[in-house]
């Protein structure tokens, strides 16, 4: 145990918790009772992180170790006092760090965490790790928590004591603490005294923390929990120094041979590094020797965190150099579209004093990055081929993020494209389970393009007038409804030798699916209706780029399309909605000459209503394209006038 002496004249300060912390404590204490043992997992994990941070800072501060370079975690119980203590000799905390880390939660996701708390206790346990609030799980089992800490490099009088009963307030004061590191003393609730039993604590550590590289120690006992027969009887005034033993394997799991690591150990290690209560979906453990030497252990999770769409959040793997921890969230080794990946990378080729800035300029960094990306994409490809249900579940969680790879990873664009899944006109619902390979295998013999449609949602896409000619000819169309689709697919021009074609852009091009008779019929319709087209152009003016008779419509009177090669109408709307400058897009207005509403525009009897009908048909076409009308009020008034005739 660490020797601690309180300063009698130290000033004790009382503070109130941040409002969100109060809510958090209340929810945690009352929502996670059946999973209460997770508190020990979280505290041991935090202690291991403190040791990692000490190793890193000691690279530039040799004096931080002092005479205590044997890093460890100790767990001790005092049945008389009813306390459980978890101590470490890691980096420790200053008073400012204690206030920041324990008095407030400086994370934007905290309020989201509180919103996500539910009646599903297992899911709530998962959220604890995702939002970095594991320390507060101590109050599930404790009436009072005391933290005693001294930061490495500080003198003993700079120690800090933090005490709280989890009731909205905490006290903080300066103390004398002889050794660096942190002690967390839990005064257990009356009905939580099971955690004063050695077997209960040992089994919990074995379950959750057997894999961490730091030794976890407890007082040595015989199998019966009594002193061994050889122990000498101590006099009353003699100090008994307990003997401690390591109760976990205390070996960096990734340094062990794959054949020596059990599946359960891989799973628990994932939970340790990711703070995810769920098991991982799949992992890859590889050791590479030769020109470069490194070990990687990469995991794919089963479920997405709440902040998955925050591209600026910390991400990446834990980086070690020669088994010395360097940094969390080393984003240089994985692109942003693989931000769901968790794991460890241990290199023998990087310098121990490596920084994020140095990593940017290192050729070895790019080599390691390429290897990690190849490994992850290989895992996904194998999953897609051999475990289709598991891959579909992964896609449902992370598919929209994976699509970003089309734009961000040119070198692996084809591999990413092979993993993509979409809905299509063959689907009855919006499940994205059609790969581009599936689509190509079902193409008609005379078809030479992959046709796709981008829309705001599945219902809008499935009922789009642009699909009518493709339905008539029995041609499958891919339906893209994720917000990222329009941007991502713009970076993929072809797949498996087949060009991708948006059916809402440019002239209708059915290739071999369109007969000469079809083409001539459209040309003749445009000639026969040239006067009508001219009149419509005069009414719409600069709202449109052109007006023409359509060859793609069967049941609808009109539709709008964008010019070939130009920005789509949907992309322009998205850019404007995001506050980004976008060119003013003028659509091409296509009309169905065989539809009754269009046919009546040529009749003399329509008279003064012509303008209203033209504007109405145009507005309907824009709405069908999931667009927004510039003047909804005018549309409503125009509709009312025509209904009253």
pLDDT score of 221 more than 90: no
CATH 1.20.120.450 fits 421-511, yes or no: no
Name the CATH architecture for the domain at 516-643.
Up-down Bundle (1.20)
Reduce the DSSP state of residue 538 to 3 states and report it: helix
Predicted local distance difference test score (pLDDT) of residue 626? 65
Name the CATH architecture for the domain at 253-388.
2-Layer Sandwich (3.30)
> Is residue 399 very low, low, confident or very high in pLDDT (cuts 50, 70, 90)?
very high
**Do residues 313 and 245 make contact, with C-beta atoms less than 8 angstroms apart?**
no
Count how many Cα atoms sit within 13 Å of the Cα of residue 472 in the half-sphere of its side chain.
14
Name the CATH architecture for the domain at 4-221.
2-Layer Sandwich (3.30)
Q: What percent of the chain has pLDDT over 70?
A: 84
d(C-alpha 95, C-alpha 11), whole Å: 13
pLDDT score of 348 more than 60: yes
| Domain limits, the chain | 4-221, 253-388, 421-511, 516-643
Predicted local distance difference test score (pLDDT) of residue 489? 92
Phi, psi at 80, each rounded to 5°: -65, -45
Residues in the chain: 645
Burial of 34 (0-12, 13-18, 19+ CB in 10 A): exposed
Q: Is the pTM of this model over 0.85?
A: no
What are the structure tokens assigned to 50, written together? 């403190």
Write down the mean pLDDT value for the chain: 84
Q: What percent of the chain has pLDDT over 90?
A: 51
Predicted local distance difference test score (pLDDT) of residue 313? 77
Phi, psi at 111, each rounded to 5°: -65, -35
């Amino acid at each position: 145990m660490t020797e601690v002496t309180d300063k009698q004249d130290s000033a004790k300060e009382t503070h109130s918790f941040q409002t969100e912390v109060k809510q958090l404590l209340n929810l945690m204490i009352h929502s996670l009772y059946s999973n209460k043992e997770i508190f020990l997992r979280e505290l041991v994990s935090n202690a291991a992180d403190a040791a990692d941070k000490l190793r890193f800072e000691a690279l530039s501060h040799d004096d931080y170790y002092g005479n205590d370079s044997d890093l460890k975690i100790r767990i001790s119980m005092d049945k008389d006092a009813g306390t459980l203590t978890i101590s470490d000799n890691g980096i420790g905390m200053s008073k400012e760090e204690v206030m920041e880390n324990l008095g407030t939660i400086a994370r934007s996701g905290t309020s989201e965490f509180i919103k996500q708390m539910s009646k599903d206790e297992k899911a709530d346990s998962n959220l604890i790790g995702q939002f970095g609030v594991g320390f507060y799980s101590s109050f599930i089992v404790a009436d009072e928590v005391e933290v005693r800490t001294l930061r490495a490099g500080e003198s003993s009088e700079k120690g800090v004591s933090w005490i709280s009963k989890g009731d909205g307030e905490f006290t903080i004061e300066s103390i004398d603490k002889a050794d660096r590191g942190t002690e967390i003393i839990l005064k257990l609730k009356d009905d939580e005294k099971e955690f004063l039993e050695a077997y209960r604590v040992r089994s919990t550590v074995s379950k959750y923390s057997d894999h961490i590289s730091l030794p976890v120690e407890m007082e040595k006992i015989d199998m019966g929990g009594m002193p061994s027969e050889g122990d000498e009887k101590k006099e009353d005034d003699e100090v008994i120094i307990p003997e401690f033993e390591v109760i976990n394997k205390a070996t960096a799991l990734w340094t062990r041979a794959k054949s020596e690591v059990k599946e359960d150990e891989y799973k628990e290690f994932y939970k340790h590094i990711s703070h995810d209560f769920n098991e991982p979906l799949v992992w890859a453990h590889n050791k590479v020797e030769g020109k470069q030497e490194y070990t990687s252990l990469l995991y794919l999770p089963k479920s997405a965190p709440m902040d998955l769409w925050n591209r600026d959040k910390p991400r990446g793997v834990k980086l070690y150099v020669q088994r010395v921890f360097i940094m969390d969230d080393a984003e240089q080794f994985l692109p942003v579209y693989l931000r769901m990946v968790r794991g460890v990378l241990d290199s023998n080729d990087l310098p121990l004093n490596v920084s994020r800035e140095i990593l940017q300029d290192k050729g070895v960094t790019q080599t390691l990055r390429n290897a990690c990306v190849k490994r992850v994409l290989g895992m996904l490809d194998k999953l897609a081929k051999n475990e289709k249900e598991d891959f579909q579940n992964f896609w449902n969680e992370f598919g929209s993020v994976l699509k970003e790879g089309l734009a961000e990873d040119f070198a692996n664009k084809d591999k990413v494209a092979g993993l993509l899944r979409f809905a299509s006109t063959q689907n009855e619902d919006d499940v994205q389970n059609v790969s581009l390979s599936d689509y190509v295998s079902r193409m008609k013999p005379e078809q030479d393009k992959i046709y796709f449609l981008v829309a705001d949602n599945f219902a809008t896409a499935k009922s789009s007038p642009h699909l009518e000619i493709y339905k008539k000819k029995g041609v499958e169309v891919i339906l893209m409804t994720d917000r990222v689709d329009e941007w991502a697919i713009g970076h993929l021009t072809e797949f498996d030798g087949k060009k991708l074609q948006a059916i809402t852009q440019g002239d209708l091009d059915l290739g071999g699916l369109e007969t000469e008779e079809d083409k001539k019929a459209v040309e003749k319709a445009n000639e026969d209706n040239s006067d009508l087209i001219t009149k419509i152009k005069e009414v719409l003016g600069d709202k449109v780029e052109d007006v023409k008779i359509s060859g793609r419509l069967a049941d609808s009177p009109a539709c709008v399309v964008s010019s070939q090669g130009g920005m789509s109408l949907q992309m322009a709307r998205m850019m404007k909605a995001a506050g980004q400058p976008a060119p003013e897009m003028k659509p091409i207005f296509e009309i169905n000459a065989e539809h009754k509403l269009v046919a009546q525009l040529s009749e003399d009897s329509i008279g003064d209503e012509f303008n209203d009908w033209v504007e109405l048909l145009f507005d309907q076409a824009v709405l069908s394209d999931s667009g927004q009308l510039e003047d909804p009020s005018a549309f409503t008034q125009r509709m009312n006038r025509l209904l009253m005739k």
